[in-house]
Amino acid sequence: MATTGGTLVLVPSFEEPRSTRRPRTPGPYTRLFRVPGARAFTFGNLLARLPMGMFTVSAVIMIAGERGSYALAGAVTATGLAATALVAPWTARLVDRHGQARVAVPATVLAVLGSLALLLCVHVGAPDWTLFASYAATATTPNTGGMSRARWAHLYRGDPAALHTANSFEQAVDELCFMVGPVLAAFLCSALFPEAGTLAGAVLLLTGMLLFAAQRSTEPPVAARAARSRSPLRVPGMRALLVVFLATGTVFGAMEVTTIAFVDGPAAGLVLALQAAGSGLAGLAYGRAGRSASLRTCLAAMTALMALPLFVAAGTGSQPAVATALLIAGMATAPTMVTGMATVQRLTPEGRLNEGMTLAVTALLGGIAAGSALGGWTVEHAGAAYGYAVPAAAAGCALLLATMTKARLP
């Protein structure tokens, strides 16, 4: 409304009344955490999951520093990895049969006691065999990431788009933990005392698991048929998928060892963090897409991008250029893992989801161990730059395996 020469003139207003404005549509991640209890169990799980990126580095620094032997440190951590591969599926099966809180808390207490025993044995100079026994006891650590994914699968079992976003978020959390964990462990062990990393990891694991288990409203109910349903290994396509996970783990193990050898210094941790950062950011972006690509498409992208560090390292030898190549290559790993875990969820029988996802993690761990060995052998015999041929070849093998088993994988 305005006045012109004393005459009242009505001017239409194009501003929409506040009462009729459409509320802004929340993003997929905002909608994800609107479920009561989701933020609480995510925070507890994050605290419990962070030590997964700390324990190995802390153990190596602590044992090598006190005993003066990297060979002993490597053998102890390798024993723990092997024990985890054997025990973790059984722990997950108990979680499915009896519930997360009833099994995860006592299993975590046993694992924490193993970590504290390792710390004590190293500190007092106990015989070497006690280090192996102590670290093997940590194999009862529950698959914290798997339990969190199981909760999302329960909360959003009728909403595939939200479940895709949740799986993408969980993969980004994994990348964050393995990016921050080693750095935090190295800092604590060097700035305070050699045992500080292991001690902090044990405290974080127990505290986080207690907080996570306390959120009973979001815990998946125990399925009555869990004890009677067939093993995930008997489901058509599951074994083929686990072999794909084994090859994918080889990519990660070889990439880590080769990068440490190529950079050869404190900057190696930063370069590896860039690769994890690229993967984490890609995972969050993938979650916003609202739908998933096929596993073979993700593996094809990973195979193409994993060739980039090899070409850059062999062609230029420049550490900054390789760091950039790893940042780009990492962008294919999170979508691959998100899609792979979603496939595991679809294949796993009702009531055995924790066991199915733990089998996938076990296959990954086996691949990481194999990739570390293959990467180290290649670096020693062909040079650090050509060590990047191992993750590139492993990604190609994963793609080939997924293609060969097309009829078995959904």
Same domain membership, residue 210 and residue 238: no
Q: How confident is the model at residue 162 (pLDDT cuts 50, 70, 90)?
A: confident
Q: Which of 176, 205, 222 is the last residue of a domain?
A: 222
* Identity of residue 84: T
Same domain membership, residue 342 and residue 212: no
pLDDT of 223 reads: 65
Q: Is 7 inside a domain boundary?
A: no
Look at 225 and 165; give whichever has higher pLDDT. 165
Q: How confident is the model at residue 16 (pLDDT cuts 50, 70, 90)?
A: very low
Q: Is 112 inside a domain boundary?
A: yes
Most trustworthy range by pLDDT among 41-50, 149-158, 163-172: 41-50
Q: Is 59 inside a domain boundary?
A: yes
Give the range of the structural domain holding residue 384, as residue numbers without chain letter.
229-410
pLDDT of 24 reads: 62
Same domain membership, residue 167 and residue 250: no
Q: What is the CATH number of the domain that holds 143?
A: 1.20.1250.20
pLDDT single digits (tens) 168-224: 788 778 777 777 777 777 778 777 888 888 899 999 999 999 998 888 888 877 765
What number of CA atoms fall less than 13 Å from residue 106's CA on the CB side? 8
Same domain membership, residue 404 and residue 377: yes
306, with CB counted inside 10 A (0-12, 13-18, 19+), is buried
Same domain membership, residue 325 and residue 242: yes
Same domain membership, residue 342 and residue 255: yes
pTM recorded for the entire structure: 0.72
pLDDT of 197 reads: 85
Q: Does the pLDDT at position 127 exceed 50?
A: yes
Same domain membership, residue 190 and residue 80: yes
Q: Which of 222, 253, 279 is the last residue of a domain?
A: 222
Query: CB neighbours (10 Å) of residue 271?
Result: 20
Query: CB neighbours (10 Å) of residue 177?
Result: 23
Helix axes 160-191, 55-67, angle to 10 degrees: 20
Same domain membership, residue 380 and residue 330: yes
Query: How many structural domains are present in the chain?
Result: 2
Q: Which of 197, 222, 247 is the last residue of a domain?
A: 222
Query: CB-based contacts of 39: which residues, under 8 Å, 6+ apart?
Result: 33
Q: Is 4 inside a domain boundary?
A: no
Q: Is 289 inside a domain boundary?
A: yes
Same domain membership, residue 236 and residue 218: no
Same domain membership, residue 289 and residue 190: no
Q: Is 140 inside a domain boundary?
A: yes
Same domain membership, residue 202 and residue 111: yes
Query: CB-based contacts of 291: which residues, under 8 Å, 6+ apart?
Result: 160, 161, 164
